[in-house]
A and B are shown apart, each in its own frame.
Chain A
Amino acid sequence: MNKIEIEFTINGKKRNLSVKPNDLLINIIRNDLFLTGSKYGCGIGECGACTVLLDGEPVLSCLTLAATVDGKEITTIEGLAKGNELHPMQIAFLKNTAVQCGFCTPSMILTATALLKENPNPTEDEIRDYMRGNICRCTGYIQIVKAIESCAEGGKSEPV
């Protein structure tokens, strides 16, 4: 099968790869670039665990062909912290104990940062609506919503 040459930026770094036509972005990110923060969950776009930011927008990397990201910019959970300094959303998730098993956490945090970029001061309903594609089987979502609220401009919710 013919390989396709692609060039893209991931977490600020330019990468060149040659990929197969049927390579999924999630597999390239995990298996070729060893960035295992993004998770392969359901594989059919129902659970959101594979979320990455593509040109700033949260998308499902399990339903994105690697060949289609040529020239684009990707951010994964590994790209949020600056060295040892965590991103404010990561701190908010920790302080609010919005993490249990952690499988959904990278995707939750990425989607949440995209939400606050679009809407810096969302209501609880707006948070729940925006996050509805990211499923968490442990926390019951309350801590996650609180973490996002605490990170928003108004900082409505104090850490528990």
Chain B
Amino acid sequence: MNQFKYASPENKEEALKILKEERVNACIVAGGTNVLPDIKVKKLSPKILVDITAIEELRGIDKKKDKIYIGPLTTIAELINSELILKEGKILIQAAQEFADPLVRNNATIGGNLVTASPAADTAVPLLTLDALIKIESVRQKREVWLKDFFLGPGKTVLQDDEMIVGIEFEQSDINKNGYFIKLGQRKAMAISIASVAVNLEVRQNKIIRIRIAAGSVAPTPIRLTATEEFLKDKEINDKLVEEAMDRVSEEVNPISDIRASAEYRRYISGILFKRAFKKLTN
């Protein structure tokens, strides 16, 4: 493995200072389940590895007023065991249970899953339908970016060299309590998804009040399907509507063909996965 220096800052300020000084030479590491394999294959060659796992303030799940706050260092295993997430954003737990395997989940963090910016990122898809807000800090500034605007392409995000995620937040609300996530992979363990779909829904008297739909592995980034959401808003739920929405989902996704599946199949299956998730929420 390449050589690099190692720093283990004990607080956020110290970490941000290192990022400011080292810029592109620095790479943050937490769980290491993506960074270390990437260093091994020389996809990454940092001069200094900034291990942020000692920064306690970046860890944990909490409720502040009507917001649910998740620290970026929260592991996938910790998400699965969180009663607060189970109550306020269960869809995230569904995705966490499908995430890689239990060994990886004990180390992999939610912040790491987001900054890796894989089109298939398992936590990103449900966080999109929870309408998560990403809190970002650098020595220069603090800013907030909606998750739907966070990803720029495969492996690319809006984060600058000197910035890091310091929090992930979503609202306590009825729509966030009622969600369903489906991941389609070639097998259960360690399978990168062929396609995944998340739906969060608020219904009153058979009418759709609010709906959020997101999909993974069907575009250069995890995406919200806003056109389909717009189409469904304020509509009465019936079978014809669901069929029509399926077609719109298939149209709205933007997949490629790769070793796991063809673009055509991904379009087709996205519609099906949407229908399955929607039916789970309405039946």
Contact = CB atoms under 8 A, between A and B. Distances in A.
Interface residues of A, number: 31
Nearest to B29: A65
A133 B36 contact: no
A74 to B, nearest CB: 13
A134 B190 contact: no
A65 B32 contact: yes
B103 A58 contact: yes
A67 B51 contact: yes
Nearest to B7: A21
A63 B189 contact: no
Contact of A45 (B2, B8, B33): B33
Interface residues of B, number: 29
B141 interface: no
A59 B53 contact: no
A82 B264 CA distance: 58
Contacts of A68: 8, 32, 51, 53
Given A21-B4, A22-B1, A134 B40 contact: no
Given A65-B51, A67-B6, A68-B51, A130 B102 contact: yes
Contacts of A43: 37, 40
A107 to B, nearest CB: 9
B120 to A, nearest CB: 15
B175 interface: no
A135 B187 CA distance: 13
Given A24-B1, A132-B188, A132-B189, A65 B36 contact: yes
Contacts of B27: none
A84 interface: no
B102 A133 contact: yes
Interface string B22-60: 000000010111001101100000000101010000000
A67 B36 contact: no
A57 B77 CA distance: 10
Interface of B: 1-6, 8, 29, 31-33, 36-37, 39-40, 49, 51, 53, 77, 100-104, 106-107, 188-190
29 contacts: A1-B5, A2-B5, A22-B6, A22-B39, A24-B1, A43-B40, A45-B37, A45-B103, A48-B101, A48-B103, A51-B103, A57-B77, A58-B103, A58-B106, A59-B107, A60-B103, A63-B32, A63-B107, A64-B32, A65-B6, A65-B29, A67-B6, A68-B51, A111-B102, A129-B102, A130-B102, A132-B101, A132-B188, A134-B103
